[in-house]
Amino acid sequence: MKAVVLAGGMGTRFKSHKPKVLQPILGKPMLWYVVSALRQGGIEDIAVVVGYRGEEVMKEMGDEYSYFVQENPKGGTADAVLASVDFWRNKEEYLLVINGDSPLVSPETIKGMKRFIRLVEEYERIKLGGVVLTAVLDDPTGYGRILREEGTDRIIRIVEEKDATPHERNIREINAGVYVFFTPSLLEALFKIRPSEETGELYLTEAVRYITERGYEVRAFMASEPVEAVGVNTRWELSFAENVLRMKLIKFWSIKGVTFHMPETVWIEPDVELSENVEIYPNVTLRGASKIGKDVV
């Protein structure tokens, strides 16, 4: 399976000259967490679609990835995937598409989506048109809603909040912005869907609608944790994501035998290495490739 990361957004709500996907989280660019989750989830062949200040993104992330440029930064998510068509069009396989501002999506969820497809193929003997990552939120405001076939995991369509009826707005299952498509059905959809009359953009949600209307099944796959659905579009959401990832690191090292006293006050970055029986006291900052040996307090 290949993956395409959509990383062309300007991030105007950050009020920053820096591209949104390069905004730092615990000392790493936001985009680093997305590609790390893909790699840990078993996907090595990754393309990154850039747009706004794309050269900065490519320089920061290095030459480990294929890069494609979305010529129209306001072309929409489907247009961005279309920009990478040469990366995936020549082989009938599944392609994962993820937004570059989704740093909370876990490797376990990536693995789960891949495993789900294998099980459907093995036991139901069908080729899926796609799979959409979903989550159930207490407050789904601002997210597209998932309309399922009653009693199944089959998606009928994804309705954007602005287009939803009052009944549809009461639906709490939302589109988390991670998709897996069977490439022949995706390719057909991308060349057939029309731009939004309101924005002129091409949306991937319309590709989902087109695929289901052509008789392919698109299934819902629930995220391991609802928080994985949270995208980062503002500095406040960046702070929220940073705190979630910081606490995941602290939990990881706690399981390895490290004690954190008042963990809510500890700053720790992903490249830090800690040994068994280490004790970390309040207000400690651990940056970069710091290493702490065994039994240190």
CA torsion sign for 69, 74, 76, 79 is negative
The domain locations on the chain are 2-229, 235-292
When the candidates are 1.10.10.10, 3.90.550.10, 3.30.420.40, 3.30.460.10, the CATH number that belongs to 2-229 is 3.90.550.10
Q: 235-292 in CATH: which number?
A: 2.160.10.10
Residue 297 has a pLDDT of 64
2-229 against 235-292: fold identical: no
pLDDT along the chain (297 residues), means of 10: 92 86 97 98 96 91 93 87 94 94 97 96 91 96 93 92 91 96 95 86 92 94 94 94 98 97 98 96 96 85
